A and B are shown apart, each in its own frame.
Chain A
């Protein structure tokens, strides 16, 4: 498989559209357990990321992904904006110098994205955060690639489905961080809004191909 510069542009624009389309839903979820600004920050942040991706004129895809991350973090320095930016920055570093991405590189993207967010936010899987979508997606992609999956459509679909199961699992997780912790009693049965953002990222990948 081969993921090109054009695919990455398509992916980040899709991601921006998804954040936009889910803006009100995210605001509503976030208002119950956070600042209520998540939909707004993700919509603004990914739009800046998409603009940076489109404007990138060189052929180093790692640097391109790094620039997308820097643009998101610069546009929305809220917690989630910085975390999403950090994921792209870490993934960009992992893919530095690549001119096209194969199946293993896609796995590197997923794993580095997860590690970038984890390192910055210092949460753990199971804490009811975005990591609970990002980790299953990275694990599933790694497993599928190791088993020989080489079709980008198939590989990204597998990652997206794992992210969705991760979102589902957050419904029964108790939050341990931030304002969500304060509102923990109201959250049983409700998915984590951060994890939803993570799943939308993989939805965008799946719809790129």
Chain B
């Protein structure tokens, strides 16, 4: 695949320079480190909310920094965790005395660095709590949810946590709502091609022509099954069957749906898939309270998509329904 870039090793820094230039009224960085990304519209007194993770997933992670969502984000190299020090620097900047909630994906490297960052800011008396996104149904069986990877469904977790923090709730309460959202969302992804990491220029796994991998992770982690390429309808049937069974969605339930592209799949195809999502939900008499299609957690140039479903109750609806606005994402208030 042909790409537009300069020096591969400057991929992340070049990208960040572009983002800071484009959104100079909205975001900036601290400690002279472009990878310590923070909002310019910090709201004093509220719980600080941040995430962090590897580059290569835009708009995840930094794209969720903005009004009604996150206050900051520590950015790693492509598919690499940011350092504990970078996380600690963002933490110190966004804390305004009410503590900081970390919401990030359930990956070993990220967990270690967020835990170490918490120890580093302990000296500054900043209280931190952690919520680890673990929505990927394909990555571990039911009953072992804490082993699952975090993927696109983290959008809902961050959205609800952001609204709770904006409502000036205390740290423990924001964490409880984030954890509740996290426990209510499931995602299933499929990949039709690998992705190429700019620094080494190679795909670190393979998806053969005419095949697809069901359940593949956003860094190319092995999925549950490789099969001949299915139609959009057949693919969605497979994905939703696993999500709805795992989430125990039943007739009369209300859900939110996120139709996510992995980077190389056009929006048209996402809506072709979403058509089937609504057919299945209608058939099961499950109503859709909110839906959004686009790219939320991508994987560079990977061709593929994921579906996330969040089961709602009145409390989650309250926090999901408020307006959110970042340089990358706009969600209108739901009336």
A interface, CB within 8 angstroms of B: 70, 73-75, 77-79, 82-83, 85-86, 89, 120-121, 178, 182
Contact = CB atoms under 8 A, between A and B. Distances in A.
Most buried by B among A70, A77, A86, A178: A77
Contact of B81 (A70, A75, A77): A77
Contacts of A178: 108
B146 interface: no
Nearest to B108: A79
Contacts of A83: 112
Nearest to A121: B112
Contacts of A86: 112, 116
Contact of B116 (A75, A78, A82, A182): A82
26 contacts: A70-B85, A73-B83, A73-B84, A73-B85, A73-B113, A74-B83, A74-B86, A77-B76, A77-B86, A77-B109, A77-B113, A78-B81, A78-B109, A79-B108, A79-B109, A82-B81, A82-B83, A82-B84, A82-B112, A82-B113, A82-B116, A83-B112, A89-B116, A89-B119, A120-B115, A121-B112
Contacts of B115: 120
A83 B109 CA distance: 10
Interface string B220-234: 001000000000000
B82 interface: yes
B138 to A, nearest CB: 16
A182 B116 CA distance: 27
Contacts of A70: 84-85, 120
A178 B120 CA distance: 26
Interface residues of B, number: 17
Nearest to A77: B83
B53 to A, nearest CB: 11
Contacts of A121: 108, 112
B82 A77 contact: yes
B80 interface: yes
Given A82-B113, A86-B116, 18 more contacts: A70-B85, A73-B84, A73-B116, A74-B84, A74-B85, A74-B86, A75-B83, A77-B82, A77-B84, A78-B80, A78-B81, A79-B112, A82-B81, A82-B83, A82-B84, A89-B116, A121-B108, A178-B108
Contacts of B76: 77
A178 B115 CA distance: 19
A82 B112 CA distance: 7
B253 to A, nearest CB: 36
A63 B118 CA distance: 18
A89 B81 CA distance: 19
A54 B82 CA distance: 25
Interface in B94-111: 108-109
Nearest to B89: A74
A82 B109 contact: yes
A185 to B, nearest CB: 15
Contacts of A73: 83-85, 113, 116
A120 B82 CA distance: 16
Most buried by A among B76, B113, B120, B222: B113
Contacts of B113: 73, 77, 82
Contacts of B80: 77-78
B8 to A, nearest CB: 15
Contacts of A82: 81, 83-84, 109, 112-113, 116
A121 B81 CA distance: 15
A83 to B, nearest CB: 7
A27 to B, nearest CB: 13
Interface in B72-91: 76, 80-86
Nearest to A82: B112
Interface string B149-161: 0000000000000
A178 B109 CA distance: 11
Nearest to B77: A77
Contacts of B84: 70, 73-74, 77, 82, 85
Contacts of B83: 73-75, 77, 82
Contacts of A77: 76, 80-84, 86, 109, 113
A82 B107 CA distance: 14
Question: Which 10 A-B residue pairs are closest in the complex by CB-CB distance?
Answer: A77-B83, A74-B85, A82-B112, A74-B83, A77-B81, A120-B112, A79-B109, A73-B84, A77-B113, A82-B113
Contacts of B112: 79, 82-83, 86, 120-121
Interface string B115-139: 1100110000000000000000000
A51 to B, nearest CB: 15
